Structure 1
Amino acid sequence: MEEAERLLDEWRSWPYSLTSRPVLVGRLPSETNRAFRLSSSTGPLVLRINSLEVAGVNRLQESKILGRVVGTSFFDCHIANYPDRGYLVMPFLSGVHPQPHIKSDQLLELGLAISELQSLSVQGIRRLDPIAQIHSYIDEFPAGGSNEVKAILARVTAARTEPSQFVLCHFDLLPENLLISDRGWTLLDWEFAAASDPLVDFATVVESLHLDRDKTNALLTAVGGEIDDQKLLQMRATLRLLWLVWRWCRSGKIERSTPELIRINQLMDAAERIR
């Protein structure tokens, strides 16, 4: 709390027409950073104090991407971002996180938001290959991780195809980073964003929300449903493997993950049945 209180002393430099120093209300859940809710003369705010070292995070790139997404339909708010000072301030946004029973019309709107994101420029944004990123994570461990993971990595690598184009991807559209409200969708936490395969964000939503065929089709309406089922399954498997080895890097140890490995193999089996 001491560091958060110290950063509050910089409130006059924040772009919110504040008339007094904000007040620290309490902690907010965050897997990779420290986040706090503030009360202020202009309404509730969020103070995020960046973790110094998080696998896969580049704060300078995040800052560049934030400059492109601010003002879009899916991130329509003002932020005060100070990557050199190690923190960010933004409004506290109301809304609810999506659940598997989400309505199809809401998924249609989310698909449109992802398509809007993909329309933004990726000039000067680094490209991220999910499989290469998996390799970089497991290389941190002796012998490159478990034999089971190495076998699955070989399987998804053999099935990969190069994307036809590179687009701006959020790369972390899990339910906790999605808000739905009367304003529509808000996409939160851009620290993993990069240029990559157009399938990445769609596959993340389908897999993390366990969408069935009808709801997947609703999500993909924004792109005319023109996504190859086999490639979507392969990307879902790849991303699940990416999430798994990222958690290993985060914890610093290889953990037993049999259910995750079974799920990844099931996705690859389903992909291989499509011929």
Structure 2
Amino acid sequence: MARMSWYEACQLDRSLMSLDHFFSRPPEYALTLTGGLTNRCWKIVASNGDAFVWRPTTPITKAFSISRHQEHQILSAISESKISPLPIFINDQGLLVEWIEGHALTHDLSFDSLLETMVRIHELDTRRIPVAPFNFTARVDHYWMMLREEFKHAPYDEVYQTWRKAPSLADVGVVLCHFDLAGYNMVGTPQGNKVIDWEYAVIGDPRLDLTLSIDVLGEDPIKSVHQYCQVRGIEGVDDWVEGVMAWRPRATMMAMLWYLLAYQLWGDEQYLTQAQNTADTFCS
């Protein structure tokens, strides 16, 4: 994290100037947060010591179909759960949320602990969350349309066309899904684990949310589904196993498109390598 004065930060990121009327006095300082991939966020420390995170709206967030207003609605709706940061302020430039003090769980989070947190999220009341259900095909089609023609060739186009439709599965209901739940988005606090970076959160199939976390952590899918169902007290495990196995290639394809789009936007070769490696998994 690079620490700088408020004036210097505003020169670097003009969206911060939209907070001038929020703070009665200019903040003490700001720090760039480097943990996020999609979001280039700031930690802001006010003159009274209060700390916040500024999550700007940028061409990058728009390219990935991320809405700070939807993120604000979700965080507002689940604020009583104490599992997420409190939303503080929203405008057309971005979203200000509270800073969660604690230690990142990037390297010391057990899968059991992750599942417990995921279940807490999945059992929240979705009736209080005013957002439209997730549309898988619309999301991957958006990623594909954002890509330049140079990427729309084999093997990427074949993988995309094969897996762009959502699977036909037994209905297990929809829940609030984080869609990027892993240790790097969790913070250990004295009050328990808390979850940050809700920009991809949606109302959707919990089996897709589970699939995404299983793949990120490299866990065994069958064993993981049984663990999840045990924690939630679900008896019809077969529908969940079938769902996760059906979502896996589609989630992998979605990740492939995400990496391609990230490479197009940032030009970082690591993203192109990740996209190529992901595409290669279909060939093997």
TM-score (norm 2): 0.75
* 2:201 maps to amino acid: A
**Match in the other structure for 1:195:** 203
* 1:137 maps to amino acid: Y
Counterpart check, 1:23 vs 2:34? no
Work out which structure has the larger RCO, using CA pairs closer than 8 Å and 6 or more positions apart in sequence.
Answer: 1
Counterpart check, 1:37 vs 2:43? yes
The CA distance in 2 between the partners of 1:235 and 1:263, in whole Å, is 15
Secondary structure in structure 1 of the residue aligned to 2:200: coil
Relative distance call for 1:23 and 1:11 in structure 2 (3 A) is farther
The CA distance in 2 between the partners of 1:80 and 1:112, in whole Å, is 26
Counterpart check, 1:69 vs 2:69? no
Pick from 90, 97, 100: which aligns with 1:89? 97
**Match in the other structure for 2:5:** none
**Match in the other structure for 2:144:** 138
Relative distance call for 1:247 and 1:183 in structure 2 (3 A) is same
What is the Cα deviation at residue 185 of structure 1?
A: 2.4
Gaps of 5+ in 1: 14-19, 267-275
**Match in the other structure for 2:4:** none
Relative distance call for 1:139 and 1:38 in structure 2 (3 A) is closer
Relative distance call for 1:122 and 1:138 in structure 2 (3 A) is farther
Poorly superposed stretches of 4+, deviation over 4 Å: 213-216
The CA distance in 2 between the partners of 1:249 and 1:80, in whole Å, is 30
The CA distance in 2 between the partners of 1:224 and 1:98, in whole Å, is 28
* 1:9 maps to amino acid: D
Counterpart check, 1:57 vs 2:66? yes
The CA distance in 2 between the partners of 1:264 and 1:194, in whole Å, is 27
**Match in the other structure for 2:20:** 9
- Does the 8 Å contact 1:28/1:36 carry over to 2? yes
What is the Cα deviation at residue 207 of structure 1?
A: 0.9
Secondary structure in structure 2 of the residue aligned to 1:161: coil
Gaps of 5+ in 2: 1-8, 266-270
Relative distance call for 1:217 and 1:50 in structure 2 (3 A) is same
Pick from 204, 209, 217: which aligns with 2:212? 204
Percentage identity across paired residues of the two chains? 19
Structure with more of its chain in helix, by fraction: 2
Secondary structure in structure 1 of the residue aligned to 2:126: coil
Pick from 113, 117, 122: which aligns with 1:115? 122
Please give the root-mean-square deviation of Cα atoms over the aligned residues, in Å. 3.2
**Match in the other structure for 2:233:** 224
What is the Cα deviation at residue 21 of structure 1?
A: 4.3
- Does the 8 Å contact 1:107/1:215 carry over to 2? no
